[in-house]
Structure formats: structure tokens, C-alpha cells
Amino acid sequence: MRLMIVGTLRGQLSAATRIAMDRGASVMHASGLDEAMKALRGGRGADLLMVDVALDIGDLVARIELERIHVPIVACGTENDARSAVAAIRAGAKEYIPLPPDPEMIAAVLAAVAEETHSLVYRDEAMAGVVRLAQQIAPADASVLITGESGTGKEVMARLLHRKSKRSDRPFISVNCAAIPESLLESELFGHEKGAFTGAVARRIGKFEEANGGTLLLDEISEMDVRLQAKLLRAIQERVIDRVGGTKPVAVDIRIIATSNRNLSEAVREGSFREDLFFRLNVVNLKIPPLRDRPADVLALAEHFVHKYCEANGVQDCRLSEEARRALTANRWAGNVRELENTIHRAVLLRTGETIGPEALVLPDGSSLGENDPASRAAQAAEAAARAFVGKTVAEVERDLILQTLDHCLGNRTHAANILGISIRTLRNKLHQYSDEGFPVSAPGGSETRAYAG
């Protein structure tokens, strides 16, 4: 965690620094906004800015947005400065910490920014094999390509590689290639010189230089434009980059990790991804299996998220019921770990007691896992079918069964008769009767012979 404290914090600077460092953060100071911007542009990146509320936070937010620097801001001020706190939040600060600083408050903010969920939780052998391979190759500097469906934990795996590498005490910088417009991605990666384009008000160090000595994660690299892929290939091969508008190459020492939820071999065949870049990135491939293929991980992750969100919401003794556990393991989890985490977060908020039941496991479409449980679906279908018979005569039930079976067979009389267990002649006579009574009858279809057409 890299923390930059901006301003004097009204005499509380040393206390805030000590608390942050006790929590494992590396801390640097900037006396004002200009010094902070100079440090950020110069590659002294930060994961969090702790800014004196007396400074113009709105101006700081506007300046970092203009230069496309992505870093959260927390405002700090005296306890009775409520008006300034509200103004800071409205200006774009993510949180307000009153001074003098409370150790637990700062620890909570640092933990939230540090994303403690980056810890890898797994029990299934399918995932254990991938983790073993990752730990084996982590000390090397070889490029790694991590593939897998969206939400499987590719960035978490990348952070594991960095933590286990020889570069673990150096920066880990992540760039989402899919989230940054194509016209801006080159500057984001390689930086730019002052005046290189409209809005380039000063020299800006890119992510390659910011990650110098450490690890650069290129998330969803398959979304990168082919033209920019050529410049990336040169940077990986020669370990030098060119800032946008620059005239002198800049040497960099980084390890590249890339992720993709697409099949890059297929993208190469389609011409949307360079083959030579693919080979450079794919020295080692870590393929993360989807959650549906890691059944033992479902409950381990679910319990991890229950603990996390119960603690975050001040809930004690919160646990999953046996019915909820069965429903969790029966679900297919199309959104993988990300969907599971969101479902558990909602469940903690929606629970009606200490125990989380399947009815609290609400999916994005509004249904609950209790409803989606196979046994529940079968019981509901049987009940609905039974209700459909009530109030009808035997003849009416027979007619509905025959006509629905015929629809199911797309009008094929032979197939329908076989399913119903009656002769084709009996079926034909019934269909003539229903047609005469005014009921719509599916036209003959399928591969039946003309002789059997009704």
C-alpha cells in the first residue's frame, strides 16, 4: 500500500504517518497540491491520497481527472469541521477521517483500499494445481498469460505471482486495457511529454515507468488495438519505451503479466491479435478454471465472504444454513467468484436472523437460489402440473396431453404416437375429432411417411 499524505493535517501529520506505517503502508508527503501532482506525474505513484480538508480537494480531483490519474482520495480534518467534510465528499473524496486520527479508522480505510480480498481462497484440487504452478514460476521474470472466464480471479492470481516474486517489494501496477479508450491507452501505458496533445499540460510518467523494478499487469489485453500491440511488443522485447511526443527512448525493468477472458489463439487466427506478441506474453499460461468446475471452492469462498461482509456490517455469529450450502453448490455460477461474492454480500444484508437461508441468496435477476435449487424446481413443476388437472374431465386432460405432445414433436404424428403409447390410427382419429370440435391441431411435420399423415 503506497500512501501519499498531502498537506500539514494541522499538526497531526506525524501521528497519521506513524499509524499508516504501523499498518504496513509506505508513506510519502507532499506539502500541497502542486507537489502532489508533480510526484504523481513523475511516477511516484500512490494507491491512496490522504488530503488535508483545508486544501482545495475539488481542484485536486479535477486535475487528476484531467490527466487521467486514477487514485482514490480521503479527506482529513478536525472533528468539528463538518461543513468542510461534506464539501470534500461532494468534491469527490471517497471518505472523511476526523483528526486527531483514530488508528482503527485509518486501518479500516487502508484495508478497504488495499482490497484484502486479494488473498487467494481455494480448496479444490483443480485450483490447487494452478496455484502450485504459479508459485513455481513466480520467482522467474518470464511473462505470464493468465486466462479464464470473467470473474474467476485472474487479477488475484497476478497479485499472488507478484507477492511470490523477487520483485515483491517493488510496485505492482495494473492497467485495464478494456476500460481505457483506445485513444488514451498509449499515453496511459507509455506516458507523454508536455504539449504532446490537447490536455497534456505537463510531462506524465506512464504505467511502464511507474512499474519500473516491479510488475505490470495488462488486464484484458485482448482488447488492445493492433497498432498499439506493435509498440507493446517492442517494449517487451527491448525493455525500452517511447513517451507520446518524446524523442528519447526510456529504459524500463519490469515483469509483464497479462490476462484475457478470450481465446487469444483464436484472436490470432482472426487477425485481431499479433501472433508475435502472443508468443512473447504466453511464456507460461495459467488457465484458471471456472467456479462451476471447482465445486470444493464454492463453500470455502462463500464462508470467506460471509465472514468478510458480516464483519464489515457489524454482524456477529452469521453463518450459512445447510439448505443454503446445498443451494450454493448446486448453482452454476455463470459470473464465477465475482457473482458468488455479490450474492453473499446481498445475503448478509437480506438475512432475517443469524442464519443465512437459501431465500436470502438472491441472484441478479431477482430470483433466489432456493427457487433455483433442482429439488425445489422439480417440486414446483410437479405442483403446477397437478394444479393444471384440477377441475377438468378425463377427456379434457387426454385432449390437452395429446395436443401438447404433438406440439412438442413439431406435428410429427409418428413420434407423438410413440411417446403417447398409442397407435398412429388412434392418434389420427383423435386429431380428426379435435379438429372437428374446433381445436387447433399442428400440421403434419417431421419425417413421417405420407400414409400416416392425419
Q: Which three cell numbers stand for residue 156?
A: 488475484
What is the reported pLDDT for 446? 46
The rounded distance, in Å, linking the Cα atoms of 59 and 171 is 27
CB 218 within 8 A of CB 259: yes
CATH of 391-452, one of 1.20.120.1230, 1.10.10.60, 3.40.630.30, 3.30.450.40: 1.10.10.60
Handedness of CA 309, 315, 321, 327 (dihedral sign): negative
Name the one residue in this structure whose C-alpha cell is 515483469: 255
Q: Determine the Cα angle at 357 with ends 353 and 361, to 5°.
A: 115
Backbone torsion region of residue 290, taken as left when φ is above 0, otherwise alpha when ψ lies between -120 and 50, otherwise beta: beta
What is the reported pLDDT for 232? 94
CB 74 within 8 A of CB 48: yes
* Contacts of 430 by beta carbon, 8 Å cutoff, 6+ apart: 399, 402
2-114 and 118-287 in the same fold: yes
CATH of 292-375, one of 3.40.50.720, 1.10.8.60, 3.40.50.620, 3.40.50.970: 1.10.8.60
What is the reported pLDDT for 152? 93
Q: Which three cell numbers stand for residue 121?
A: 481462497
Q: How many residues does the chain have?
A: 454
- Domain at 118-287: CATH architecture: 3-Layer(aba) Sandwich (3.40)
Question: What is the model's pTM?
Answer: 0.63
Query: φ and ψ at 194, to 5 degrees?
Result: -60, 130
Q: Which three cell numbers stand for residue 59?
A: 481542484
Name the one residue in this structure whose C-alpha cell is 501496477: 173
What is the reported pLDDT for 80? 63
The rounded distance, in Å, linking the Cα atoms of 319 and 5 is 39
Nearest to 452 by CA among 412, 422, 421, 398: 412
CB 340 within 8 A of CB 302: yes
Q: Which CATH class is domain 2-114?
A: alpha beta
Domain boundaries, the chain: 2-114, 118-287, 292-375, 391-452
Mean pLDDT per segment of 10 residues, for the chain of length 454 residues? 80 73 79 88 77 88 79 79 79 81 71 58 88 94 95 92 91 90 88 82 88 95 92 93 89 96 92 95 95 91 88 80 90 91 91 87 80 53 57 85 87 86 89 88 59 36
